[in-house]
Structure 1
Amino acid sequence: MIESDSTVPSIGQIVLPLKGREAGTYSVVVQQLDERFVLIADGDRRKFDRAKRKNIGHLQLFDYVSPEVQNSIIETGKVTNGKLRYAVTKFVNEVLIDEKKGDMFDG
């Protein structure tokens, strides 16, 4: 798994909540609140305007930052739910599936 070494997530970074109702569903960091908490959203069940506050310790951080989401938030302070869905889908389809294909050839 391509986990990040950093303990502070970046805006646009893909995360996997380990605790709570969102556990097991990929989301995107949309705002850093302080050194312990971030806001996450996935654009589907959890929209940008109702982002969930999560403890960083309850998140698995991945070494993947969506440039579309990051640029949109830096430029305008917000992002569309479509871009969030796109970022999560792109991560799952490109990064995770490619990683699983690589695992099949390691045997």
Structure 2
Amino acid sequence: MLLNDLNVGQVVISKSGRDKDRLFFIIKIINEEYVLIADGDYRKLDKAKLKKVKHLMKYKYASEDIRNKISNEEYINDAFLRYELDRLKSKL
């Protein structure tokens, strides 16, 4: 998966590990090999998971609200992440 295909706020699913088959948001892009992911439930924002890009499958959906809040350094809580994931699950 190419890094330029990934964006902050994009929905991804874990392909391996204990969190396999779970949906997450990309919170931060570390480098071309790693990203930080969180879902507000299993993985909270304050303990976001460092995950290899090759272990993720991306979806075409992304949350503009999350992307804008992170880029503007606004406060985001775990409940907001859970709400956005529930909202986007209906589109998947």
TM-score norm. by structure 2 comes to: 0.90
Question: Aligned pair in 2 of structure 1 residues 57, 73: CA closer, same or farther (>3 Å)?
Answer: same
Structure 1, unmatched stretches of 5+, are 1-5, 97-107
One-letter amino acid matched to 1:7: L
Q: Which residue of 2 aligns with 1:63?
A: 60
Question: Aligned pair in 2 of structure 1 residues 17, 78: CA closer, same or farther (>3 Å)?
Answer: farther
Structure having the higher strand fraction is 2
* Cα distance in 1, alignment partners of residues 76 and 16 from structure 2: 25
Displaced runs of 4 or more, over 3 A: none
* Cα distance in 2, alignment partners of residues 21 and 78 from structure 1: 28
Structure having the higher helix fraction is 1
Question: 1:75-107, CA deviations, whole angstroms, 9 ceiling, x for partnerless residues?
Answer: 1165211221112111112x12xxxxxxxxxxx
Residues 2-81 of structure 1 correspond to what in structure 2 (within 5 A)?
A: 7-8=2-3, 9-76=6-73, 79-81=76-78
TM-score norm. by structure 1 comes to: 0.78
One-letter amino acid matched to 1:36: E
Q: Which residue of 2 aligns with 1:105?
A: none
Question: Aligned pair in 2 of structure 1 residues 22, 78: CA closer, same or farther (>3 Å)?
Answer: farther
Q: Which one has a bigger Cα radius of gyration?
A: 1
| Number of equivalent positions | 90
Structure 2, unmatched stretches of 5+, are none
Q: CA RMSD in A?
A: 1.3
